[in-house]
Structure 1
Amino acid sequence: MEPLAPSFLPCFLVISLSLLLPYVRPTQPLARLIGAGLTAALLVRYLLWRALETLPSLTPDPLAIAGWVFFLLELLGSAAGLILLHVLSRSCDRSAEATAHPVEDFPGGAPLIDLLIPTYNEQSEILYRTIIGALSQDYPRFRVWVLDDGKRSWLADMCRELGAGYRIRGDNSHGKAGNMNAAFWWLMDQPEPPDAIGVLDADFVATPAFLRRAAALLHDPKVALVQTPQHFFNPDPIQLNLGAATLIPDEQRFFFDVILASKDAHGTAFSCGTSALVRASSLAGIGGFPTESVTEDLLMSIKLSGLGLRTVYLNEPLTAGLAPEGLQEYLTQRGRWCLGTMQIVRTPWGPWSRGPTPPLMRLHTLDTVLFWTMTPILRIICLVIPVLYWWTGLVVVQADLPGLVSNLGPYWLSCVIFLGWVSGGTNVPVLADAMSLLVARESLRASAIGLFGSRNQKFKVTAKGATRDRTVVQWDLVAVFMGLAGLTLGGIILRAVTGPIAGTPPDVEAMTLFWSLYNLVTLCVAALMCVEAPRYRKEERFATDEPVEITIGGQTYAGRMDNLSLVGCRVRFADLPLIELGAEITLYVPGVGTVPTQVRGLRARSCQLSFNPDSAQRAALVRKLFSGQYRKSVSTLNPLVFCAILWRRAFT
């Protein structure tokens, strides 16, 4: 056996180079390109080592077949990794471009925008916020249309009272895309058709700057679509279930903060369904919103690229929406995204089609396809292989420990360090692997249906606005994760008691032990994500620190408001005035006015107040909360903080 110590040299070289990263911004093009290139080179080096030194002879022997099958799956997974590194080798920030092209300077003035809000079964509180935000745009020429596939009379009344347009259609064919198409073609037949179409999901509230900032990028006639990021004002299931909503980034931050900005730099950014703006003439040129896939947003950008038009990305927090409240809703949403991607594969615009899709868009679409298919397959296989070794002696990777450390070690380190650097810490290995396990079953099922099932799959709406007053455990998922963990741990204990498998090199035993321990941690984290914490509040609270005044019996007192929601707030006082539980008082809130309130809770130096606003004050509260100043998104995660979160969640 070769000495182990020299094999660590490539790992030490990678770590040494990483010491420079605190002094280099991930937005620096050359540094980013070098980091991606080095990581890709180390991946290719690892694959060459695997191909030349670790594969058994290709014979009918089951062990040889297993080794080759695993290597071929590794190759497919590595192809996805290489494409991702290519994507991340560049990035783009269009904020300065948007500032440099105000809509008032456009030839003919600001384009007329029709802002569409497709809806089906959302609650009135959700839609009220969205409509108020849409109507509060700081933009000279726009109209708001609520497209109601639920055909609800109360929503028609709400739109009439607030001043929004309201439309229904004869049937609900093609789901969201069909709903928007019915409105789009009707609008294009009006005496004053729109120049652009904005899209807001029913739970997304736009800041006043949304249309102005997004429309500025339409100054380039080649730009057909402007996408902005999705931020969320409630914790997603992962944040909530790990008990760290203010410390862990939401599950989509890596995609919106890093990946989509990188795709934009390559000209392959795509629409994400909401918080977007599309040029009306371009949309008409592709026949309206696509209906061949339940992810009409991605297919829309692909079709536009076939006409030589571009989707660009403005990475500014201009809207905020509701993340799925429960794990089942979360999985339903991911399954729909996966299904839609697979449906695109079967269209003339897929990555292997003969259609007009540009080569780079094909490549980056293939990246999405591999993400939904190969990632879950590899994650499952990587869990099963150590179990098979411990219980049966099956060895899939014939490698010694020095070779593994020398070849896999530097690539793995470089990948973790590079992804952590470009993402600001939002990509953490164990967390990312646990999330992929969480959606593995749903994505594999959706992939099979999308690739081989009927093309006429219905659009599944993600339920929003739910509350839950108790802990819910998703036992079907927990049973699978804990079962695999039990088999892994049981196998380790078996070998500790009975001794190593005869004829198995110690290197293989050590390699599989490390592999198994990593799997155990990942499985435990995935299981923790399946224990759903209660959601008691109907409205989210936003942290703040603002001066307010309360009036009690004609006497005014100054205080500080430290949290605020649409239904109430908490006020702190240096010296709490004489006040009783249930008392009716008035509160002056900056930007809203004097609001009647009732005391709902009392503490030593603070009181909890519930609002009783009139219609104007209620609308003002929405505009205040969703102005952008109360953004709740977490954009970084320290690995040590993440370890502390897991420890606390598991043992306290």
Structure 2
Amino acid sequence: MTEPSPTPPRPRPSIRFAIIRVLAVLSVILGTNYIVWRWLASINWDAWWIAVPLVLAETYSLIDTFLFCLTMWRARERPLPVSAPQGTADVFITTYDEPIDLVMTTARAAQRIAYPHQTWILDDGARPGLQEAAAAAGIGYITRSDDWVGKPRHAKAGNLNSALFETDGEFLLILDADQVPDPLILHRTLGYFADDPTVALVQTPQFFTNVDEADPLGAQAPLFYGPIQQGKDGWNAAFFCGSNAVLRREALMQLGIIGYVREITDSTRRALRTAEQLIARESTATQDATLRGELTELLGHIRDARREIAAGHPIADATYRVREAVDSASRSVVARDLAAIQADLDAIADLPLQRDSELGVLVVDDEGLDRLAAADLSPLGAIEAVSALLSTLNIDRADEAQPVQPIATISVTEDMATAMQLHSLGWSSVYHHELLARGLAPEDLRTMLTQRLRWAQGTLQVMLRDNPLIKRGLSFGQRIMYFATMWSYLSGFAAVIYLIAPVLYLLMGVMPVSAWSVDFFARFLPYFVVNQLLFLVVGRGMRTWRGQQYSLALFPVWIQACWSAAMNVWFSRPLTFAVTKKDGRDERGVPWGRIWPQLTAIVVLVIAAVIGLARLAVGSADGTGTLVNTAWVLYDLVVLSVIIQAARYRGPQATVAAVSDATHIPDPEGRP
């Protein structure tokens, strides 16, 4: 099977990039001119309930255009590294429940990598059959220890974190179970680490051998694994995509240790802040001057500890002094309490008692209860609470299987989160644009939808938990590049408006714009044409239409991802993690329950077009408006038609066996 080159013939980079920059500037200028006019002069306020959402959706699209233009502004085509490959290497093949034959195909290909290395199968399914197959082939096998039982597993991130502490290679090549590597993958990538000691990550493209020319599931992503990653690379923001990447162990371990220290520091600060509030409240409430003095002294120790930690002093030293002060205060209060308890007993003995006729016991009357309630009881409970807070500081992170977690665990997409953390610490990344591994893509619509939902959920989790726009350590370009990826998953809401607006006009004559005038076309058409030209030049012959289709056609998935990610981050509602099926089609058939919004939209759009044209024929509708909105509906139908194609898809024509061929993949540049 001949693979399509990810970089077709093109003009000299300097000329091409100059054209891209000119088109990018024009797109932003023309788009801004159009949107400003839309806001100031064209909104139909009589139908504000659809007019305002529509202009908001268009504004979202303009911001998306601006982010894409920034991405491409510094697109980088790297030469091969200058330095020879060096350093020890481990190859990690992550697996959970993929077929053993498939995993072993990848593992044997990894064994044949020409650069000296150790191959490891990371089996999160702990399957004896796979362990035996690995042993027979002389391949390392790692599964999680008993330390992980009953603890958060963190899916693939946990699998990698567990293996990091059982291996020692300086560099890690991470492969999914289906990604068969080229024998020269380490020779091609390790040189970057020698060229630049700040490089923590080298990412290469993902390419799928079981995808035919039609590719109705949109598995291949030539625009992303090409111009977009090259654009991010120009801003030092090319990120880890989960597989086909080489990472520096030193960088990951630094990330894990810093994360551990930050977690302990944050938990200590929270504990001391709570302790300060408890003691301050008790000190204010007590009437005993001696006790108030002791509590004030303890409060001073707590505040000193908070200042020391803020100044970077060792946590252990600061909390030790607080513990000593707590113990001293406890002993003093206990001694005083012993005397107070005796006094309370004497007071109780003097209380008026009466016998309960039904129970036959002595009880305290209401007057006695009032006297006890008014008594000034010991604040020992508050001091003991402070002691308990300090004793439960999570120094060893007992809630986790291992204290140090180098691969980020804040998201179900550990790859982007880890890359962003590395960039924030000052490490750099490289995108190497050469096919050096071949894998398997989803072969049915159900699996594809599950995969895309997981990607979107994970990306949005990162945005909500660790927003790059306010993350310390990132450069301006890195903030924008990460945010651009996250922003793209909000498109589902804009898509709904783009589907509703023409339907409302064709069915009921509701106009979101004040008029379909010359001003509208004079502003919109140049913006639209230049924007499409920009995509053509950037794509330089690539088949990018499928990606554009799915950006709109998967609007229910993007909306579901936004909702579920928000519920997970804000209300701790768990997300399910599903491993992408790699052994053929899901035989459960078409997931009608998951694509009914798109099918409903198709039916409604068709009905709207028919009624709109009928109204035009009888003279009850405006000709220009009807034609514009009918064209809009036709565009939406063409985009949504990909869902029908995907639902009818019955698998690739090429055989899965193609993935077992581990011969060298030629470089598209013709380099040896």
TM-score normalised to structure 1 length: 0.72
Q: Which residue of 1 aligns with 2:18?
A: 30
Cα 1:500–1:361 shift into 2, 3 Å: farther
Which of 515, 518, 542 lines up with 1:402 in the alignment? 518
- 2:80 is the counterpart of 1:97: yes
Cα 1:438–1:126 shift into 2, 3 Å: farther
Q: Which residue of 2 aligns with 1:130?
A: 106
Q: Which residue of 2 aligns with 1:323?
A: 441
Structure with bigger gyration radius: 2
Q: In structure 2, the residue corresponding to 1:224 is in which secondary structure?
A: strand
Q: Which residue of 2 aligns with 1:447?
A: 562
Please identify which structure carries the higher strand content: 1
Which of 494, 498, 505 lines up with 2:611 in the alignment? 494
**Identical columns (%):** 27
Cα 1:305–1:417 shift into 2, 3 Å: same
Cα 1:283–1:468 shift into 2, 3 Å: closer
Q: In structure 2, the residue corresponding to 1:198 is in which secondary structure?
A: strand
Q: In structure 2, the residue corresponding to 1:216 is in which secondary structure?
A: helix
Cα 1:27–1:200 shift into 2, 3 Å: farther
Which of 415, 418, 426 lines up with 2:534 in the alignment? 418
Q: Which residue of 2 aligns with 1:558?
A: none
Whether the 8 Å contact between 2:204 and 2:245 is mirrored in structure 1 is yes
Q: In structure 2, the residue corresponding to 1:394 is in which secondary structure?
A: coil
Cα 1:455–1:315 shift into 2, 3 Å: farther
Cα 1:252–1:537 shift into 2, 3 Å: closer
Q: Distance in 1 between matches of 2:639 and 2:513?
A: 21
Whether the 8 Å contact between 2:211 and 2:654 is mirrored in structure 1 is no
Whether the 8 Å contact between 1:434 and 1:523 is mirrored in structure 2 is yes
Q: Which residue of 1 aligns with 2:236?
A: 267
- 2:223 is the counterpart of 1:235: no
Q: Which residue of 1 aligns with 2:121?
A: 146
Whether the 8 Å contact between 2:444 and 2:651 is mirrored in structure 1 is no
Q: In structure 2, the residue corresponding to 1:41 is in which secondary structure?
A: helix
Whether the 8 Å contact between 1:33 and 1:90 is mirrored in structure 2 is no
Q: Which residue of 2 aligns with 1:86?
A: 70
Mean CA deviation greater in 222-231 or 413-422? 413-422
Cα 1:79–1:295 shift into 2, 3 Å: same
Q: Which residue of 1 aligns with 2:272?
A: none
Q: Distance in 1 between matches of 2:66 and 2:159?
A: 38
Mean CA deviation greater in 435-444 or 197-206? 435-444
Using the TM superposition, give the Cα deviation of residue 504 of structure 1 relative to its aligned residue in structure 2, in angstroms.
6.1
- 2:264 is the counterpart of 1:280: no
- 2:282 is the counterpart of 1:306: no
Using the TM superposition, give the Cα deviation of residue 209 of structure 1 relative to its aligned residue in structure 2, in angstroms.
0.7
TM-score normalised to structure 2 length: 0.70
Which of 324, 343, 348 lines up with 2:461 in the alignment? 343
Q: In structure 1, the residue corresponding to 2:166 is in which secondary structure?
A: helix
Q: In structure 2, the residue corresponding to 1:530 is in which secondary structure?
A: helix
Q: Distance in 2 between matches of 1:514 and 1:393?
A: 16
Which of 258, 267, 290 lines up with 2:408 in the alignment? 290
Q: Distance in 1 between matches of 2:10 and 2:244?
A: 33
Matches within 5 A, 1:200-219: 200-219=175-194
Which of 583, 591, 614 lines up with 1:465 in the alignment? 583
Using the TM superposition, give the Cα deviation of residue 177 of structure 1 relative to its aligned residue in structure 2, in angstroms.
0.6
Matches within 5 A, 1:349-368: 349-368=466-485
Q: In structure 2, the residue corresponding to 1:115 is in which secondary structure?
A: strand
- 2:503 is the counterpart of 1:387: yes
Whether the 8 Å contact between 2:502 and 2:633 is mirrored in structure 1 is yes
- 2:664 is the counterpart of 1:628: yes
Q: Distance in 2 between matches of 1:522 and 1:411?
A: 20
Q: Distance in 1 between matches of 2:552 and 2:49?
A: 26
Whether the 8 Å contact between 2:442 and 2:585 is mirrored in structure 1 is no
Q: Which residue of 2 aligns with 1:372?
A: 489
- 2:585 is the counterpart of 1:507: no
Mean CA deviation greater in 21-30 or 165-174? 21-30
Cα 1:468–1:461 shift into 2, 3 Å: closer
Mean CA deviation greater in 324-333 or 450-459? 450-459
What does the per-residue CA deviation read over 1:143-167, in whole Å, with 9 as the maximum and x for residues that have no partner?
A: 1111111111111111112121111
Using the TM superposition, give the Cα deviation of residue 425 of structure 1 relative to its aligned residue in structure 2, in angstroms.
3.0
Which of 226, 230, 233 lines up with 1:257 in the alignment? 226
Q: Distance in 2 between matches of 1:438 and 1:499?
A: 29
Q: Distance in 2 between matches of 1:92 and 1:41?
A: 24
Cα 1:336–1:27 shift into 2, 3 Å: farther
Mean CA deviation greater in 409-418 or 495-504? 495-504
Cα 1:488–1:438 shift into 2, 3 Å: closer
Q: In structure 2, the residue corresponding to 1:232 is in which secondary structure?
A: coil
- 2:34 is the counterpart of 1:46: yes
In the alignment, residue 159 of structure 2 is paired with which amino acid?
N
Q: Distance in 1 between matches of 2:615 and 2:30?
A: 38
Using the TM superposition, give the Cα deviation of residue 473 of structure 1 relative to its aligned residue in structure 2, in angstroms.
4.3
What does the per-residue CA deviation read over 1:78-104, in whole Å, with 9 as the maximum and x for residues that have no partner?
A: 21221111101232122x232x2212x
Q: Distance in 2 between matches of 1:359 and 1:33?
A: 19
Q: In structure 2, the residue corresponding to 1:147 is in which secondary structure?
A: strand
Q: In structure 1, the residue corresponding to 2:165 is in which secondary structure?
A: helix
In the alignment, residue 216 of structure 1 is paired with which amino acid?
G
Q: Distance in 2 between matches of 1:376 and 1:277?
A: 33
Q: In structure 1, the residue corresponding to 2:172 is in which secondary structure?
A: strand
Cα 1:255–1:477 shift into 2, 3 Å: same
Q: Distance in 2 between matches of 1:120 and 1:127?
A: 10
Please identify which structure carries the higher helix content: 2
Q: In structure 2, the residue corresponding to 1:445 is in which secondary structure?
A: helix
What does the per-residue CA deviation read over 1:509-565, in whole Å, with 9 as the maximum and x for residues that have no partner?
A: 232122122222223343222212245876344xxxxxxxxxxxxxxxxxxxxxxx8
Q: In structure 1, the residue corresponding to 2:492 is in which secondary structure?
A: helix
Using the TM superposition, give the Cα deviation of residue 500 of structure 1 relative to its aligned residue in structure 2, in angstroms.
7.5
Q: Distance in 2 between matches of 1:146 and 1:344?
A: 28
Whether the 8 Å contact between 1:227 and 1:272 is mirrored in structure 2 is yes
- 2:67 is the counterpart of 1:68: no
Q: Distance in 2 between matches of 1:382 and 1:204?
A: 38
Matches within 5 A, 1:553-632: 622=660, 625-629=661-665
Whether the 8 Å contact between 2:184 and 2:664 is mirrored in structure 1 is no
Using the TM superposition, give the Cα deviation of residue 335 of structure 1 relative to its aligned residue in structure 2, in angstroms.
0.8
In the alignment, residue 510 of structure 2 is paired with which amino acid?
L
Whether the 8 Å contact between 1:477 and 1:527 is mirrored in structure 2 is no
What does the per-residue CA deviation read over 1:9-48, in whole Å, with 9 as the maximum and x for residues that have no partner?
A: xxxxxxxxxxxx9866587332222222222222112212
What does the per-residue CA deviation read over 1:54-107, in whole Å, with 9 as the maximum and x for residues that have no partner?
A: 1245xxx5x12421222123212321221111101232122x232x2212xxxx
Mean CA deviation greater in 124-133 or 456-465? 456-465
In the alignment, residue 490 of structure 1 is paired with which amino acid?
I
Q: Distance in 1 between matches of 2:612 and 2:171?
A: 66
Q: Distance in 2 between matches of 1:536 and 1:125?
A: 21
Q: In structure 1, the residue corresponding to 2:93 is in which secondary structure?
A: strand
Whether the 8 Å contact between 2:223 and 2:539 is mirrored in structure 1 is yes
What does the per-residue CA deviation read over 1:481-530, in whole Å, with 9 as the maximum and x for residues that have no partner?
A: 44323322322322333448999654322321221222222233432222
Mean CA deviation greater in 222-231 or 70-79? 70-79
Q: In structure 2, the residue corresponding to 1:406 is in which secondary structure?
A: helix
Whether the 8 Å contact between 2:412 and 2:458 is mirrored in structure 1 is yes
Q: Distance in 2 between matches of 1:486 and 1:449?
A: 28
Using the TM superposition, give the Cα deviation of residue 212 of structure 1 relative to its aligned residue in structure 2, in angstroms.
1.3
Report which structure shows greater RCO (CA 8 Å, sep ≥6).
Answer: 2
Cα 1:42–1:279 shift into 2, 3 Å: same
Q: In structure 2, the residue corresponding to 1:300 is in which secondary structure?
A: helix
Using the TM superposition, give the Cα deviation of residue 354 of structure 1 relative to its aligned residue in structure 2, in angstroms.
4.7
Q: Which residue of 1 aligns with 2:299?
A: none
